[in-house]
Amino acid sequence: MTPSVQMMIRRTTALAVVALAALSFANAQTFTISAKSSAGGTIAPSGKIPVPAGGSQTFTITPNTGFEIVKVLANKVDVGLVTSYTFDDVQTKGSIKATFKVQTFTVTFSATGNVKISPSGTTTLSYGKKSTVTVTPLGGPRAPRCSRWMATRWRSRRRGRATSTSSR
């Protein structure tokens, strides 16, 4: 082979490699994952997130104080009560949605001794809502003066506060 033919082959090969690289770059696909959440929390990142074909994207789901995760849907499939979700090997558009609700707590009001409590029984309270409880002496020789009282067996993941008011 003559030197000029070898040079022509090298140039043609180099141009073909450059053309293939440019074609590959031009055809690189990007898919969009739409991420949104209901009131009461966030998903990050949120909005329309571009992800290159074959790439991955992780989302963090965080409830606000007093809220909890109710449902996380990835491509309309329930993925459980997760705080993080990753789309791996993305080959198509996708979606993720987090739904939150206000936390609720079951509270039982009861009294012992010579007093009446109102309301009594079990009720469900929402985070941040107050409940008024009235403790009334029933009278008689052993009637308490109601100058002091306390809440016992107060169990919750959140701290609560019981206060007393009295009149003598």
- Domains annotated for the chain, with CATH where assigned, are 28-102 (2.10.70), 104-137 (no CATH)
**What is the 3 state secondary structure string of the chain?**
CCHHHHHHHHHHHHHHHHHHHHHHHHCCCEEEEEEEECCCEEEECCEEEEEECCCCEEEEEEECCCEEEEEEEECCEECCCCCEEEECCCCCCEEEEEEEEECEEEEEECCCCCEEEECCEEEEEECCCCCCCEEEECCCCCCCCCCCCCCCCCCCCCCCCCCCCCCC
Compute the distance between CA of residue 49 and CA of residue 46 in angstroms, rounded to an integer.
7
pLDDT band at 133 (very low <50, low <70, confident <90, very high): confident
Cβ count within 10 A of residue 53: 13
Decide: 137 and 147 in contact? Cβ < 8 Å.
no
pLDDT tens digit string along 88-121? Answer: 999 999 999 999 999 998 888 887 777 788 888 8
* Percentage with pLDDT > 90 across the chain: 45
Predicted pLDDT of residue 142: 57
pTM of the model: 0.64
Work out the end-to-end distance of the chain between its first and last CA atoms, rounded to an integer number of angstroms.
117
Give Cβ neighbours of residue 151 (< 8 Å, ≥ 6 apart).
160, 162
Of 75, 89, 85, 76, nearest to 33 by C-alpha is: 75
pLDDT tens digit string along 17-61? Answer: 444 444 454 457 999 999 999 999 999 999 999 999 999 999 999
